[in-house]
Amino acid sequence: MGSKYDVLVIGGGNAALCAAISARRGGASVLVLEGAPKFYRGGNTRHTRNMRCAHDAATEILTGPYTEEEFWEDLLRVTGGQTDEVLARHMIRESKDILNWIVEQGVRWQPSLGGTLSLGRTNSFFLGGGRAMLNALYLTAERLGIDVEYDAEVTDLVIEDGMFLAARLKRPINGETEIRATSLVAAAGGFEANIEWLKQYWGEAADNFLIRGTPHNRGSILKMLLDKGVQEVGDPTQCHAVAIDARAPKFDGGIITRHDSVVFGIVVNKHSQRFYDEGEDIWPKRYAIWGRLVAAQPDQIAYIVFDSTVVTSFMPTLFPPVAGQTIAELADKLELDPAALEKTVTEFNAAVRPGTFDHTILDDCRTEGITPSKTHWARRIETPPYLAYPVRPGITFTYLGTRVNKEARMVMADGKPSANMFAAGEIMAGNVLGKGYAAGMGMTIGSVFGRIAGQEAAKHARN
């Protein structure tokens, strides 16, 4: 390996590869340092499936137009206004071109098919999923002559006055080494797999979190950058958290541990008490709120309780539901107080008002006289066997990050842009996503800012 590169990319996911490829296409020599072993390369990109891009007309893979304005409104709604409007609008504009650019890098789309996802208009789906997408980017990177090192643990960054000089690296075989580069692109993800760090904001509750992605997203690069004077952005307690099966592995359970059955039943905590309106909103919004809701419950555990009439209404699940012929038997198996669960279900059933069930719209099936109410899709739970999924908070990614400008250039604590440091992907997602989430936005942030960061880093290096 050469001792000095034009552009050093730290990270190995979608944002990192888009940065590396665009930098290389911009004429720079590029090294990618991926901290994970080859199989786990790509961080959370391995588990993604689609990307949200604005487009003005239907395409082969998208059923209709999704204008910049509509994208912006969706972003505004999920973030509650916690977004940098200049950056966000810039990203949305750029996302139109990314839809084609990413295909030129070897990534393939598929028509939106089955499942319960109603995203055929707004989101493009990767053929074969996120890992297939990554494989395509890595093949392109290799073909372009980009160097990639796996198991590359960066132990320190040498930064002087907002100027990146070198990265110190611990290799599994050759030991410590120093890599110099003219520009740096940090695209090394968030810190969701770093339970100790999560505990700073969540306390002991974080011990009960399950991490949906790889154990390699420890936020070490983010920490180094913040410690060395890069301005922080985003609320450290904000993260994308969904309710996933409590039986899932601690790390890397990915997509298949999620549950989308909430609207078909009720959700109770370990005291058998309901705690939130299960019928508040339709997928995908309902999906992304339950992780935080469960995190706020005692012992960070909850149970989705439903009956046998709805088992085929949602996606098949990896773990089978826990089943009981009576509510008491079900409670026993869940180690809940049978009397308490019976009482909750009986009260819920009594509060259900007649209506016409339709899970594709906000229907008129609702409860009356209980708190919290279930405002849509409320139907009595009365047909045995009674079923339940135990769920815990499943953390997808974190929002604390490095501030950047439109050039994806990191902004230092004093407000000045860094001379040669750029950031892309989850490590700077908090600039755009202050809170909340809408499917496919992580990939948009990664690809758009990855490409910009790569271009700008190459431009800087070639000057």
Partner 1 sequence: MHGTRILDEADRLMTVCNSCRYCEGLCAVFPAMEMRRAFSDGDLNYLANLCHSCGACYVDCQFSPPHEFNVNVPQTLAVARAESYAAYAWPQALSGAFARNGLVVSIIAALSMAAFILGFAALNDHSVLFGVHTGPGAFYKLMPHNAMAALFSGAFLYAILALVMSVRGFWRDIGTPIGGRADGGSVLQAIRDAGELRYLHGGGVGCYNEDDKPTDRRKLYHHLTFYGFLLCFAATSVATLYHYLIGREAPYPWWDLPVVLGTIGGIGLIIGPVGLCAAKMRRDPALLDENRYGMDIGFIAMLFLTGLTGMTLLVLRETAAMGPLLALHLGAVFALFITMPYGKFVHGIYRFAALVRYAQERRTAA
110 lies in the binding site for partner 1 (CB under 8 A): yes
Least separation in angstroms between CB 38 and partner 1: 10
128 lines the binding site for partner 1 (CB under 8 A):
yes
Minimum Å gap between C-beta 316 and partner 1 is 4
Q: Binding to partner 1 by residue 317, rule CB under 8 A?
A: yes
Burial class (CB in 10 A: 0-12, 13-18, 19+), 226: middle
Which range in 269-277, 288-296, 308-316, 344-352 contacts partner 1 by CB under 8 A? Answer: 308-316
Site for partner 1 in 225-284 (CB under 8 A): 249, 252, 254-256
Q: Which amino acid is at 271?
A: H
Using the rule CB under 8 A, which residue among 316, 354, 369, 415 binds partner 1?
316
3-class secondary structure, 60? coil
Q: E strands along 204-331, which residues?
A: 210-211, 232-233, 239-245, 266-269, 302-307, 322-324
Q: Indicate whether 135 belongs to the interface with partner 1 (CB under 8 A).
A: yes
Distance of CA 14 to the CA centre of its chain: 12
List 130, 189, 219, 265, residue binding partner 1 (CB under 8 A) = 130
With binding defined as CB under 8 A, does residue 131 bind partner 1? yes
By the rule CB under 8 A, 129 interacts with partner 1 = yes
Query: In this chain, which of 144, 226, 301, 318 binds partner 1, going by CB under 8 A?
Result: 318
The 3-state DSSP class for residue 303 equals strand
State the minimum distance, in angstroms, from the CB of residue 37 to partner 1.
9
**How near is the Cβ of 116 to partner 1 at its closest, in Å?**
10
CA distance 222 to 428: 9
The least distance separating partner 1 from the CB of residue 392, rounded to whole angstroms, comes to 17
Instruction: Return the number of the residue (256 or 419) whose C-beta is nearest partner 1.
Output: 256
Q: Given candidates 139, 350, 361, 413, which one binds partner 1 under the rule CB under 8 A?
A: 139
Question: Does 144 help bind partner 1 (rule: CB under 8 A)?
Answer: no
**The only residue of 1, 3, 60, 113 in contact with partner 1, by rule CB under 8 A:** 113
DSSP assigned state of 354:
P
Closest CA to 425 of 45, 168, 59: 45
Which positions ≥6 away from 230 have C-beta within 8 Å?
402, 403, 410, 411, 412, 413, 418, 421
Q: How far apart are CA 182 and CA 422, in angstroms?
A: 12
Q: Are 450 and 404 contacting, i.e. CB atoms less than 8 angstroms apart?
A: no
With binding defined as CB under 8 A, does residue 291 bind partner 1?
no
Q: Does 132 bind partner 1 (CB under 8 A)?
A: yes
Indicate the residue among 205 and 256 with the shorter CB distance to partner 1. 256
Least distance from C-beta 254 to partner 1, angstroms? 5
Which residues 24-63 are close enough to bind partner 1 by CB under 8 A?
39, 46-47, 49
Least Å distance, CB 191 to partner 1, is 21
* Consecutive H or E run containing 459: helix 441-462
- Per-residue burial over 185-218, b if 16 or more Cβ lie within 10 Å, else e, is bbbbbbbbbbbebbeeebeebbebbbbbbbbbbb
What letter would DSSP give residue 404? B
Q: How far is the CB of 363 from partner 1 (least distance, A)?
A: 25
Q: State which amino acid sits at residue 430.
A: G
Nearer to partner 1, 135 or 405 (CB): 135
Give the SS3 label for residue 460. helix
Chain contacts with partner 1 (rule: CB under 8 A): 39, 46-47, 49, 108, 110-111, 113-115, 125-132, 135, 139, 249, 252, 254-256, 312, 315-318
